[in-house]
């Protein structure tokens, strides 16, 4: 807030609002869509004499996924993931006498399965449990 602001050609933009969005860090206002072109700050000179739009740039927050190998071993024990991105390569645990069947959001293969292409949506440190170990 506010959604609009009057600025004068040849003057500085002055105080700009700080926006919030769940799962993301606000990275500033830009002249191009999706945080492209020029960064606009408090002291940026207004060089556009027509009404114009500034665009928020967002970067996904980083979270830690902790692997719970359910009495097995896993290396690494945790990794960083980025909100709204795919998890990517997940660790593979080992446990004598068992076959690894995947990572899940709940204990002993309950909850939702998580694979390399699953999008990070949790907003806290998350723990995955392998099924079938």
Q: What is the pLDDT of residue 133?
A: 55
Q: What is the pLDDT of residue 125?
A: 65
Instruction: Give the residue among 64, 65, 62, 61 at the shortest CA–CA distance from 130.
Output: 65
Global pTM reads 0.78
pLDDT in tens, 105-131: 888 788 888 999 999 988 766 777 776
Low-confidence ranges of the chain (pLDDT < 50): none
Specify the 3-state DSSP secondary structure of 107: helix
**CB-based contact 64:99 (threshold 8 Å):** no
Max CA separation in the chain (angstroms)? 73
**CB-based contact 102:66 (threshold 8 Å):** no
Q: What is the pLDDT of residue 34?
A: 87
Q: What is the pLDDT of residue 118?
A: 94
């Amino acid at each position: 807030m506010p959604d609009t602001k009057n600025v004068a050609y040849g003057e500085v933009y002055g105080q700009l609002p700080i926006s919030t969005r769940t799962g993301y860090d606000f990275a500033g206002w830009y002249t191009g869509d999706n945080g492209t072109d020029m960064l606009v700050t408090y002291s940026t000179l207004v060089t556009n004499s027509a009404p114009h739009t500034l665009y928020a740039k967002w970067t996904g927050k980083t979270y830690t996924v902790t692997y719970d190998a359910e009495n097995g071993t896993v290396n690494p024990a945790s990794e960083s993931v980025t909100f709204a991105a795919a998890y990517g390569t997940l660790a593979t645990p080992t446990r004598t006498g068992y076959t690894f069947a995947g990572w899940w959001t709940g204990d002993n293969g309950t909850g939702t399965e998580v694979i390399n292409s699953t999008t990070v949506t949790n907003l806290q440190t998350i723990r995955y449990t392998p099924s079938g170990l």
